Structure formats: structure tokens, C-alpha cells
Structure 1
Amino acid sequence: MKTKGINHLALVCRDMEETVRFYTEVLHMPLFKTVSLPDGGQHFFFDCGGGASVAFFWWPDAPAAAPGIASVKRFPSDPKTAIGSMNHVAFHMDEAELEASIARLQAAGVPVTPMVVNHDDSAQGVSAQMHPGVFVRSVYFTDPNGIMLEFAATTKVFGRDDVSHKPASATRPMEA
């Protein structure tokens, strides 16, 4: 089996009109396909670049949101979500676009991390300064449905040394 990447990620929204407005007007992702479902729901697709899309389902009787279970409760102070949930969606962006994206989101009234987050391999996982160990620079925000989104710019080419941790197991303690 050989996959070619992500075709689409399907999420659930509380209001399709509000979601279309956010993804087309704020994030500038073209709406390219709409589907009316036989159960009264809708399924809409947005082009997020690189041949991938983000899609939303809407149903008039969908269960309510469950922050802290099915979505992030509060980032960065409470980022955990339940097993089987989706934590966030990261859209690739050129590094040169990150600062401007903060201003664009703020102009649209979207709460956003006030600065670009530099992800590195330090004990904290982030650095206040850009340095050669930073592997991704990010901006975080949420959509109208409470879904955490990220604009992420990879800043290095990954190699063998970037895979250095043993996977944790629920049945035995994590090794250092």
C-alpha cells in the first residue's frame, strides 16, 4: 500500500454558514465542493493547498462540543484531548508568512498566539529565540467551532537523529 498524502480531513461544525465565512473570508481557502446529505446534513470541502482539503460535516442534531475531551480546552495551558480525538489541524505555510498571518487573523477578530512559537528539542519544547535546533515555527488559533488550528513552517530537513525516542506504552512505564 502506498499513500500519496492526506486527501482531506473531515471535521464537524456547529454552523455551516459561519464555518464557510471563516474558512473562505478569513483563511482564504476556496470552497470547492458542497454535498447535501440524505439525513438533512451537509458536507463541504475547502482547498487548503498542496492538493489537500479540509472538510466539514454539519447536522442539525449533532452532539454538542466537548472541549477538553474531543477538542483542546485551552491552548497552551490545557492542550490534552481524549484518545481517538483530533487535537488540532496544522496547515503548512512559508515561514515568511507567519508574522503577517498573526496580523491578518487579529484584524479579523480571531484570538491568536501573540507571537510565533519556535518548536525545538529543549526540555520546554519551545524557545523564545530562533536557533538551529528549531524545527517548526507556528501560530495557533481556533476556528468558530473551537477547533484548534495552526499555521506551521518547517525550518529544517529531518534526518535519522530526529527519531530518537522510544514509543511509550500504556502497559509499561515510559523510558527516559
Structure 2
Amino acid sequence: MIHYTGINHLAMATKDMDTTIRFWRDLLEMPLVAGLGHEGYRQYFFSISDHDMIAFFEWPQVENLPEKDHGVPVKGPFAFDHIALEVDAQEDLWLLKDRLEANDIWVSEVVDHGFILSIYTFDPNNIPIEFSTPVREVDLRAQPQMHDKTPTPRGREGSLPRPDMWKQPDRPTPLKDRMIYPGEGMVFRKPIGK
């Protein structure tokens, strides 16, 4: 069994890192915890929680996403709909709503989805964001529920993983063959200022 701890980071793109910093660090209060950069390359990381981050590459030629409402179907090549970030309590949700409105940033009304309460907005890059807080008495991880009237065949198999449906490795990669190649972030292992 693989043990996941969260999303290390989501990697997005922006044409304007400073505007992105103002929104994610200053308005949403997510610390800017790492920055990489050199000629033609920049990537900054913001901490969402103890386990999760969001990162942005700055690409001057990138264009903002066309505005698309959260969850509205589209045609053609597509993979990303929106980011959903969880806050601890309803009070946090209302604080975010009030802060966005105070800064003339569009934000939806609070929507009750049965297991979460949510608000919706967009960042300066038109990235659709949902902020949600759990409805405490509904824990879908502890008690999964399927309310699809016509679930897919795989959906009818239940909530538990079925690793037996995939080939399993005959043997793990031998220690002598476990090569790790250096990447851009090796600078984080050096003392600051060196």
C-alpha cells in the first residue's frame, strides 16, 4: 500500500509573478516558502498547509486562462477545472469571502454541497478556485457514499483500491540501481547566501 500525505504542490503558470504573490501570499495569507530563478526561468512556491503547496512558473508569454465557471462542461482538449482548497471552519470561509469582496474580487455566495460548504472565485491568472470547509457530521472518507443513479462499472466496484487489477512489480529496484539525478532545487541544500 502506498502512503500518501497530501499534494506536495500543484504547478501553475503566470505571466506576472508579483501580482500572483500579492494574491496568494498577501490576500490569501499563504507564505512564500521557496523561489527558484535564473535567466528565462522562475518558479515560486506558496505553502497551503503543513503538507500542501501551490507553485507558479513565470512565463512572460503565457496568457491568462479564459474565464470558465467552476464545473461547467467544455468540449475539446481539457484536463483542469478548478483548485479546491480546504479551510478549517466556516469562520475562515466567511473571512475569505469578506476579504475578497473588500478588494473588489468576485466571489460567489456560500454553497452547501452536503459534505462541504464552498465559495468560488478566480485568481489574477483566471485560475478557478473553490474554498471549502467540511460539514463535520458528514465524513465521506470514513463512510463513502455513491449517489450516482447510473454509476460506471468501475464505480460500482466500491471505494477501496483494487491494486490486483494492475501488474505488480516482480522485484523492487535494487539499491545499486536507485539513481537520483540533481534538479533545479539542489540550491535549497546549500547554506543561504552561498
With normalisation by structure 2, the TM-score equals: 0.67
Q: Deviations over 1:35-83 (max 9, x none)?
A: 0156x02100001113210100112233x3342xxxxx3426x723565
**3-state SS of paired residue (2:4):** coil
* Cα gap change, 1:108 to 1:66, in 2 (>3 Å): closer
Counterpart selection for 2:69 from 60, 75, 83:
75
- Distance, in Å, in 2 between the alignment partners of 1:19 and 1:35 is 15
- Select the structure of larger CA radius of gyration: 2
Describe the shift of the 1:86–1:142 C-alpha distance in structure 2 as closer, same or farther (beyond 3 A). same
User: Cα–Cα, structure 1 residues 59 and 117, in superposed 2: closer, same or farther, change >3 Å?
Assistant: same
Deviation at 1:101, TM superposition (A): 1.6
Q: Does residue 150 of the first structure (1) align with residue 130 of the second (2)?
A: yes
Q: Which has the higher helix share?
A: 2
Do 1:26 and 1:108's aligned partners in 2 also have CA atoms closer than 8 Å? no
Higher strand share: 1
**In the TM superposition, what is the alpha-carbon distance from 1:2 to its structure 2 partner?**
3.0
Counterpart amino acid of residue 33 in structure 1: A
The partner residue of 1:167 within 140, 148, 152 is 152
Unpaired segments ≥5 residues, structure 2: 155-194
1:161: Cα distance to partner?
5.3
Residue 88 (str. 1) matches residue 68 (str. 2):
no
Judged with a 3 Å threshold, the aligned counterparts in structure 2 of structure 1 residues 42 and 168 are, in CA distance, closer, same or farther, namely: farther
Question: Once the two structures are superposed, what CA deviation does each residue of 1:93-151 show, in whole Å capped at 9, x if it has no partner?
Answer: 122322222111111221100x20111xxxxxxxxxxxxxx111001000000001111
Q: RMSD of aligned C-alpha atoms?
A: 2.3
Separation in 2, partners of 1:168, 1:19 = 42
Q: For 1:31 and 1:66, how far apart are their aligned partners in 2?
A: 23
User: Contact 1:98/1:151 (CA < 8 Å) preserved in 2?
Assistant: yes
Which runs of structure 2 are paired with 1:5-84 in the superposition (5 Å)? 5-37=6-38, 40-62=40-62, 64-67=63-66, 73-75=67-69, 79-81=72-74, 83-84=77-78
Amino acid in structure 1 at the alignment position of 2:119: V
Whether 1:104 aligns to 2:99 is yes
Superposed CA offset, 1:4-56 (max 9, x none):
22111001112111001111111011101000156x02100001113210100
Change (3 A) 1:96 1:168: farther
In structure 2, give the amino acid aligned to 1:23: W
Task: Tell me: CA distance 1:83–1:117, structure 2 relative to 1, closer, same or farther (3 Å).
Answer: farther
Give aligned pairs, total: 146
Percent of aligned pairs with the same amino acid: 29
| Whole-angstrom CA distance in 2 between matches of 1:48 and 1:2 | 20
CA 1:52/1:107 → structure 2, altered by over 3 Å: closer, same or farther?
Answer: same
1:90/1:150 contact within 8 Å kept: yes
Deviating 4+ runs (over 6 angstroms):
none
1:41/1:60 contact within 8 Å kept: no
Q: TM-score, normalised by structure 1?
A: 0.73
